[in-house]
Amino acid sequence: MSNGTRTRFDYTVKIILLGDHNVGKSSFLADLASLRDSSDSDCQCIDYRPNGHVDLDIWKRGKRVLTKIVDTGGQERFRSITASFYRGAQGCLLLFDAEKPDTFEHVHNWYNDLEMYTNKQPLSTILVGINSQSNQRQIPPEQAERLATQLEMQFHELNLGKNSNSVEIVNALLDRLIIHAARLPSLTIDIMPYHIRQHFADMGLDTGIGDSPERSKFKCSC
């Protein structure tokens, strides 16, 4: 920070993006990055790397949440995503393009990968359909809703651009994380690996997480 002070956060959350390489994950990140110029005091973009990640400063239920949304960076083209990408994640947005049926058909594959790499640990996930307003859509919302119900997750349609609802979808996932933690008070979830915490430290941001086991766990008291 320019004033030399460190920003204090109550929680730090890692959300991963999954889906085929052509579904619009990069566009989703870029849409969130536009919040750098936003006057919305409840959600601000504080760091953005195209095809990499976007970091959001979000006020949620009176708590300040540092939300890191991570893209696969093109690795999905070669099926070369490693376990390190999934490590430390508390939430997932599983995307498909409503104009491209194959991206919808591959949702099951991505879901299976998610379960495999997270050892079937509870991970709040939302199914997201992009290009939902297009006249060329091939996947009706009812079909996506059925799949989401089958996989026990919510379904949201994502609109990019002028009428974007990107922030609403991120907030919906954060709500699920809070509810999930409240229902399972004994559950502790790793916030994020040390090297990611160090990344924020280098930016002058205080995640409020130390190296002790007690402070490196997320417990919601909402």
What confidence score (pLDDT) does residue 187 get?
Answer: 40
Dist CA 160 CA 127 (whole Å): 16
Domains of the chain are 7-214 (3.40.50.300)
**Closest alpha carbon to 125 in 53, 196, 180, 64:** 180
What confidence score (pLDDT) does residue 92 get?
Answer: 95
Which pLDDT tens digits describe the chain residue by residue (222 residues)? Answer: 334 445 688 888 999 999 998 899 999 999 999 887 666 678 989 999 887 899 999 988 888 889 999 998 766 554 557 788 888 899 999 999 999 999 999 999 999 999 988 886 768 999 999 976 667 889 999 999 999 999 999 999 998 877 789 999 999 999 888 777 666 544 444 444 334 455 555 555 554 444 333 333 444 333
What confidence score (pLDDT) does residue 132 get?
Answer: 64
What confidence score (pLDDT) does residue 140 get?
Answer: 93
What confidence score (pLDDT) does residue 182 get?
Answer: 63
Dist CA 40 CA 166 (whole Å): 14
What confidence score (pLDDT) does residue 217 get?
Answer: 41
What confidence score (pLDDT) does residue 192 get?
Answer: 41
Dist CA 140 CA 165 (whole Å): 19
Walk across the sheet containing 43-49 and list its strands.
43-49, 53-60, 63-70, 11-18, 91-97, 124-130, 154-158
